[in-house]
Structure 1
Amino acid sequence: MPIPPKTQHFLKKLKATADPVDIAARLEPRADTPPPLMTLPKPSRSAIARIWSRLIRAGVPETARTILADEQTLTGAGHYVGNIENMIGTVKVPVGIVGPLRVNGVFAQKDYFVPLATTEAALVASYARGAKAVGKSGGVSVATLGEGVLRSPAFRFASIAEAGLFVEWVIGSAEKLVAAAESTTRHGRLLSIDPVIDGELVFLMCRYETGDAAGQNMVTFATEALCEYALKSSPVAPRSWFLEANFSGDKKASFLGVMLGRGRRVTAQADIPEDVVEATLGSPIDLILEYGRVANLGSLMTGQVGAQAHFANGLAALYLATGQDVACVAESAVGFTRMERSSTGLLVTVTLPNLILGTVGGGTQLPSQSAGLDILGLKGSGHAPALAEVAAALCLCGELSLTAAVAGGQFGSAHKRLARGKTP
């Protein structure tokens, strides 16, 4: 059987790097005792100094401490208690502004300045161009369609029969299970418990409303209380159980999330007149639509979950700037973009079924991230639904601008000009 060219190429590079015998020796377990592990002090000036003392003794350059542990970070170290362990400083990520972005939403009704934290040149410029186009077209219409964060524990029984008896008990005890879960939170509500049987295994899909919080910890604590009540009260005892059985789609792209939603499900739409498309985006509508058909085929052929250009770019930058759990972009960026001709120009629609974000709790309370929410005017209680609608409107702007850039042959030249400072 022939060896694939990419494998041959890698082996050639590997042999050029080191002798195979030397590589084998490098991979052997080491017998010497490793250095003691770091402790887990709460963030403070003195704790950061202790950790840096050890890092410098280990050979980390002093310049790294100067940059990461600046005076402002050290003075405000107490702000980060509850957000990080073994803190050594803060990373400064450039923040740009997109806007004003006109949003005509169920909850978001305003011209917003949107902060985006990123190190990728051309990203802010692209989203700003999309915002300019939709602003000239009356804005983005946005609607929140639903919400609910999932946590899915699993219970393993001795047999299918016992699994069935447990499900029967769950159905009959739903009110008490809800009470147990909701006893852990003032703001969360358990909306449903959906049992799924696979042989002797039972998964419980527990869906929650989480108020203005993203709610990852909230639903974890609530589901743990629900499980503890089940273990104490169920007529059949499981052989084992797990608080999260990888069934909820947490921080993963999944078809479950596409169909049922995890977080806030939001759809946004804008109708861009033809003259605005050509003057602002520099590409004819027919070419944009042709590229859209090709790109959708590419999504289908490669098995992507969803079909869109780059939701992750805007969401990651917005999440960094406003204190969201950036890892949730893995599921939040799943969704669909649709473009078609309208009577006046180009109708653009995006739907995001899994927006996990909030305006209270987590990283939203940290100084820089709190400032990001202040810029939006969406800090604190009562604003999470509006933030979700702004996020969807932002994604629409990015889809519009990037699609037009690729269709119109501007994609490479824009990055050369903005990322390398060169005019082609």
Structure 2
Amino acid sequence: MTQNSQKIEQLAATLLGERSQEEVRKRLEADTKTPYARLANVKGTAPEALRGRWENLLGQGEPIPPALYNGEDMEVYGANIENCIGTVKLPVGVAGPLRVNGSFAKGDYYLPLATTEAALVASYHRGAVILSKSGGCSAVILAEGVTRSPGFAFASIGDMLIFAHWALTHKDQLKEVAATTTRFGVLQDIRFAAQGSHLYLLCDFSTGDAAGQNMVTIATQAICDFIIEQAPIAPQYWFVEANASGDKKATAQSFTTVRGKKVAAEAVIPGKYIERFLHTTPEKMVQYWQMSALGGVMTGTIGVQGHYANGLAALFIACGQDAACVAEAAVGITRFAILEDNGLYVSATLPNMIVGTVGGGTKLPSQQAALQLMGLAGAGHARAFAEVCAAAALAGEISIIGSMAAGDFTKAHDDLARKR
């Protein structure tokens, strides 16, 4: 990455300050002589384990910060954390209810949102109210699947092709191998991409009601072990994930494939509700959407949307999802259009909604309670939860674009964050 000369000069002045170049160079050298403190090898999340870990961190007899740990039994978190020292508390607000008329989600849903950002819950609540008063939003699952992409290196393109042909002609056997590792995951397809003598196998799975990242990793490991043992050509080396799956990142392939669940949500909002709740007009909101869409194109964003990540991060944390998956889940496209009767058509399409209602953090007490509040805890609810997530993202788009169009975005944040 390049920087202009003025910024480089400012950076150099900041780094050097009153220090000489030699002092800066010495400061940045590797230090292999000074002993460093080691974390105690204390396993588990029982109270004695946490106290031992805190004594190692602070010293014998030093008071433990009660906001992080006050002596409670943490064993319920044992399967979800290493080197546990307590918990971090986040406030959880509720927005809605949000009416969803989905292919799996049908009804009015409260949205538990865990965040420290003032104005966020208020904004999503406003969008949810507008959608609900308009009859709710339609939502549908368009595709499902989670991919793992092992990579194999060969001495030549010829070797790579022989290996790839063998793997692709034994998909039924590989499906059986994957089934030995999971009751719920199913290998749906294997695709491949080649770069010279490198081969990427794109293993596409369905994962039931789990988000499924660990599930597909374990299944793919078994598939690779079987291929290495049986294939007529052995790779020079290989890796179970070669970074072609899009895991926890926004990628250009988002709109040609799916990661998790591809979900679309839409609604028609009468002009009277735009004026009453957003203090603007459908025309003004479309004008803002058009300008912001071009702004996104100019800056190279993947997709065109205002702030999916805001609501999804808050919902993911509250409901026990993998928060890092917001990096991919927040990819998508928002579209606004004026209708003949001065109504506003709104839609949001999110191709990487990787969520689950079983496994991972969904079984922890607070997160389980949040899912229960929504009526979406446990098996059989992952698709409905994905549709609610997309509807929530759409509610957030309506509210923030309305705020921008009305010119009260700054005032709302000043009133709800700074002044309060």
Bin of the TM-score, shorter chain as denominator length: over 0.9
Sort the Cα spacing of 1:17 and 1:415 in 2 relative to 1 into closer, same or farther, 3 A: farther
Q: Is the 8 A contact 1:133 1:281 kept in 2?
A: no
Percent identity (aligned): 47
State the match for 1:69 in structure 2. 69
Q: Is the 8 A contact 1:98 1:128 kept in 2?
A: yes
State the match for 2:412 in structure 1. 414
- 1 CA distance for matches of 2:168 and 2:256? 23
Deviation at 1:131, TM superposition (A): 0.6
State the match for 2:248 in structure 1. 251
Matches within 5 A, 1:305-316: 305-316=302-313
State the match for 1:372 in structure 2. 370
1:68 is paired with a residue of what secondary structure? coil
Q: Give the residue type in structure 1 aligned to 2:376.
A: L
Moved more, 165-174 or 389-398: 165-174
State the match for 1:33 in structure 2. 35
Sort the Cα spacing of 1:18 and 1:103 in 2 relative to 1 into closer, same or farther, 3 A: farther
Deviation at 1:9, TM superposition (A): 2.3
Q: Which runs of 5+ in 2 are unaligned?
A: none
- 1 CA distance for matches of 2:233 and 2:220? 19
Is 1:224–2:205 an aligned residue pair?
Answer: no
Q: Give the residue type in structure 1 aligned to 2:305.
A: Q
Q: Is the 8 A contact 2:39 2:56 kept in 1?
A: no
Sort the Cα spacing of 1:3 and 1:332 in 2 relative to 1 into closer, same or farther, 3 A: closer
RMSD value, Cα: 1.6
How many aligned positions are there? 416
Q: Give the residue type in structure 1 aligned to 2:257.
A: L
- 2 CA distance for matches of 1:214 and 1:124? 25
Sort the Cα spacing of 1:46 and 1:177 in 2 relative to 1 into closer, same or farther, 3 A: same
Give deviations 1:176-212, integer Å, cap 9, x for gaps: 1111111100001110000222211111100110000
Deviation at 1:16, TM superposition (A): 3.1
Sort the Cα spacing of 1:58 and 1:198 in 2 relative to 1 into closer, same or farther, 3 A: farther
State the match for 1:333 in structure 2. 330
Task: Pick one of 257, 260, 276 that aligns with 1:260.
Answer: 257
- 2 CA distance for matches of 1:207 and 1:34? 44
Give deviations 1:325-369, integer Å, cap 9, x for gaps: 000000000000000012331100100000011000000011111
Q: Is the 8 A contact 1:38 1:86 kept in 2?
A: no
2:86 is paired with a residue of what secondary structure? coil
Q: Which runs of 5+ in 1 are unaligned?
A: none
Deviation at 1:19, TM superposition (A): 4.3
Deviation at 1:3, TM superposition (A): 5.4
Q: Give the residue type in structure 2 aligned to 1:68.
A: L
Q: Give the residue type in structure 1 aligned to 2:143.
A: G
Q: Is the 8 A contact 1:258 1:334 kept in 2?
A: no
Task: Pick one of 42, 45, 49 that aligns with 1:43.
Answer: 45
State the match for 2:122 in structure 1. 125
2:17 is paired with a residue of what secondary structure? helix
Given the two structures, how large is their TM-score scaled by the length of structure 1? Answer: 0.95
Q: Is the 8 A contact 1:93 1:118 kept in 2?
A: yes
- 1 CA distance for matches of 2:114 and 2:143? 28
Deviation at 1:257, TM superposition (A): 2.1
Task: Pick one of 98, 103, 119 that aligns with 1:101.
Answer: 98
- 1 CA distance for matches of 2:17 and 2:153? 51
Q: Is the 8 A contact 2:16 2:24 kept in 1?
A: no
- 2 CA distance for matches of 1:233 and 1:109? 48
State the match for 1:153 in structure 2. 150
Task: Pick one of 380, 383, 395 that aligns with 1:382.
Answer: 380
Is 1:179–2:176 an aligned residue pair?
Answer: yes
Sort the Cα spacing of 1:18 and 1:96 in 2 relative to 1 into closer, same or farther, 3 A: farther
2:378 is paired with a residue of what secondary structure? coil
Moved more, 35-44 or 208-217: 35-44
